Amino acid sequence: MGPEHVAHALRGSYGLPYVTPALVAAWERGTATPSHPELTALAGALWCSPGELIGRPRTLREHRVARGLAPEDVARTVGHELHAYLRMEETGQWHGTERQSAALARMLALTLADVITVTGREERLAELLRNAATTRWQAYVRPVSKIAPLERRVLEEALHRLHQDYQGHMAATLSWGGGHGDAGDSGREFLDRIVDHFWTAVEDHSR
């Protein structure tokens, strides 16, 4: 189906008379974002679920839509006024109590990694993990645990592994004859994905 066919279906079958092929193409390119009703209609026109269109959810809104929930349902369940909840989706800044965060995680089936991301704490976690990998990792067990409350043994082993992997990666790059610039690029690439490396280490040490 081309954009013109999708637009025709959304206008004729889903009551969205303003949808044009250009708008559908903008959704495909990612230069425009469909609203909740538009995404639901789009999924219907393409015979799939909203979650399949989103891929791996990252934001609070994407997790909600992937579960097929209206913002009113989530706001009511977690105990927020609708306008306040929608504002949190727009800004990516979650302002909820521990109880509200737990209710949100249950309703949207969020993992700990998801909770940290949608509540706007991932960048702080990344900063702490970068420091743990590049300096003395033991000093960051407690600060990281405040963001990611994991079993202490698992957390220590994950941070230790990040430190070893980073130091070993840098040493190996230099031993291959690369210059310091090559090592720096390689090290930055590792640190750019430090959060992903952390969750992989946590999963490995939780088994």
Assess whether 110 and 140 both reside in one domain.
Answer: no
What CATH number is associated with residue 28? Answer: 1.10.260
Task: Work out how many domains the chain is built from and give that number.
Answer: 3
Assess whether 159 and 112 both reside in one domain.
Answer: no
- Each of the 207 residues of the chain gets a pLDDT tens digit; together they read 788 999 999 998 888 999 999 998 888 887 877 877 888 888 888 888 776 776 677 788 888 887 878 899 999 999 999 999 999 988 888 888 889 989 999 999 899 999 898 888 899 999 999 999 999 999 999 999 999 999 999 999 999 999 999 988 777 655 545 554 555 667 788 899 999 999 999 998 877
Q: What is the pLDDT of residue 51?
A: 67
What is the C-alpha to C-alpha distance for residues 18 and 20, in angstroms, rounded to an integer?
6
Assess whether 128 and 194 both reside in one domain.
Answer: yes
Per residue in 173-202, pLDDT (tens digit) is 555 455 545 556 677 888 999 999 999 999
Domain boundary among 120, 155, 173: 120
| DSSP assignment string, 31-79 | SS---HHHHHHHHHHTTS-HHHHH-S--SHHHHHHHTT--HHHHHHHHT
Assess whether 23 and 49 both reside in one domain.
Answer: yes
- Structural domain including 104 reads 56-120
Assess whether 142 and 202 both reside in one domain.
Answer: yes
